[in-house]
């Protein structure tokens, strides 16, 4: 599925050292604002930019070679480099949760991470939940009709996966308190709550 050449590229105007550590969100904000480098990168051995560098992203267990600029977000690399569009561009700063993916098992907004920071990490997107046997969380969403337009849904499902990994026996109260990072405009919250509760019950039985 790797789709290296799909996205046409030009030359970036930015030239600076890569930063292999540090907060993705802060780095992304700085980079998009045209900031010059991030101090504190201990492993400042590899020089990247200006323009594209080829990196390998491991997404849903598959390696994707993608061309990225230093300022490119993980979301842009996933959508245009890897052809994976389950994570959605709803807000740039992560305030909608629409681009939620798992980075080494932990939820994060792909729109607020730099692609380069994610090299070598295990990235999981909503597409990993598809297949002949639907993932139980996605299945509970379908069963409870917890999607309407569906644009927020993939991010929501991934957020629920991460929430339940930490809170496998979550109560309704904990669900109502713990899933406020994702925004839905159509109003599917009323269907999501029983869907999550169903997964908890199913997990309890297993």
In angstroms, rounded to a whole number, what is the distance separating the alpha carbons of residues 192 and 126?
Answer: 16
List the helix and strand counts (H, then E) for the chain.
6, 7
Name which of 142, 122, 149, 126 is nearest 199 in CA terms.
142
In angstroms, rounded to a whole number, what is the distance separating the alpha carbons of residues 10 and 91?
Answer: 25
65 near other proteins, judged by CB under 8 A:
no
Q: Single out the residue of 1, 4, 149, 203 in contact with other proteins (rule: CB under 8 A).
A: 149
* Smallest distance, other proteins to C-beta of residue 54, A: 14
Length of the chain, please? 206
* Smallest distance, other proteins to C-beta of residue 42, A: 25
User: Between residues 121 and 189, which has the closer beta carbon with respect to other proteins?
Assistant: 189
Mapped onto helix, strand or coil, the DSSP state of residue 59 is strand
117 near other proteins, judged by CB under 8 A:
no
37 near other proteins, judged by CB under 8 A:
no
167 near other proteins, judged by CB under 8 A:
no
In angstroms, rounded to a whole number, what is the distance separating the alpha carbons of residues 186 and 155?
Answer: 15
User: Between residues 81 and 119, which has the closer beta carbon with respect to other proteins?
Assistant: 81
In angstroms, rounded to a whole number, what is the distance separating the alpha carbons of residues 7 and 98?
Answer: 22
In angstroms, rounded to a whole number, what is the distance separating the alpha carbons of residues 132 and 74?
Answer: 27
Q: Single out the residue of 2, 23, 95, 167 in contact with other proteins (rule: CB under 8 A).
A: 95
86 near other proteins, judged by CB under 8 A:
yes
User: Between residues 22 and 181, which has the closer beta carbon with respect to other proteins?
Assistant: 181
152 near other proteins, judged by CB under 8 A:
yes
165 near other proteins, judged by CB under 8 A:
no
Number of residues forming the site for other proteins (CB under 8 A): 76
* Smallest distance, other proteins to C-beta of residue 43, A: 23
Determine contact, residues 114/169, Cβ cutoff 8 Å: no
Q: Single out the residue of 187, 204, 205, 206 in contact with other proteins (rule: CB under 8 A).
A: 187
């Amino acid at each position: 599925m790797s789709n290296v050449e799909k996205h046409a590229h030009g030359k970036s105007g930015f030239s600076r050292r890569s930063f292999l550590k540090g907060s993705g969100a802060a780095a992304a904000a700085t980079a998009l604002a045209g900031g010059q480098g991030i101090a504190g990168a201990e492993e400042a051995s590899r020089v990247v930019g200006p323009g594209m560098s080829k990196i390998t992203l491991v997404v849903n267990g598959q390696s994707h070679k993608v061309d990225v600029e230093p300022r490119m977000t993980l979301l842009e690399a996933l959508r245009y480099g890897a052809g994976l569009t389950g994570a959605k561009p709803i807000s740039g700063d992560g305030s909608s949760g629409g681009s939620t993916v798992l980075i080494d098992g932990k939820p994060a907004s792909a729109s607020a991470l730099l692609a380069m920071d994610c090299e070598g990490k295990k990235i999981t997107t909503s597409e990993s939940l598809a297949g002949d046997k639907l993932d139980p969380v996605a299945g509970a969403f379908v069963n409870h009709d917890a999607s309407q337009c569906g644009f927020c849904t993939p991010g929501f499902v991934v957020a629920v996966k991460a929430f339940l990994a930490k809170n496998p026996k979550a109560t309704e109260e904990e669900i109502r308190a713990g899933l406020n990072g994702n925004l839905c405009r159509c109003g599917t919250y009323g269907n999501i709550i029983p869907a999550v509760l169903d997964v908890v019950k199913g997990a309890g039985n297993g």
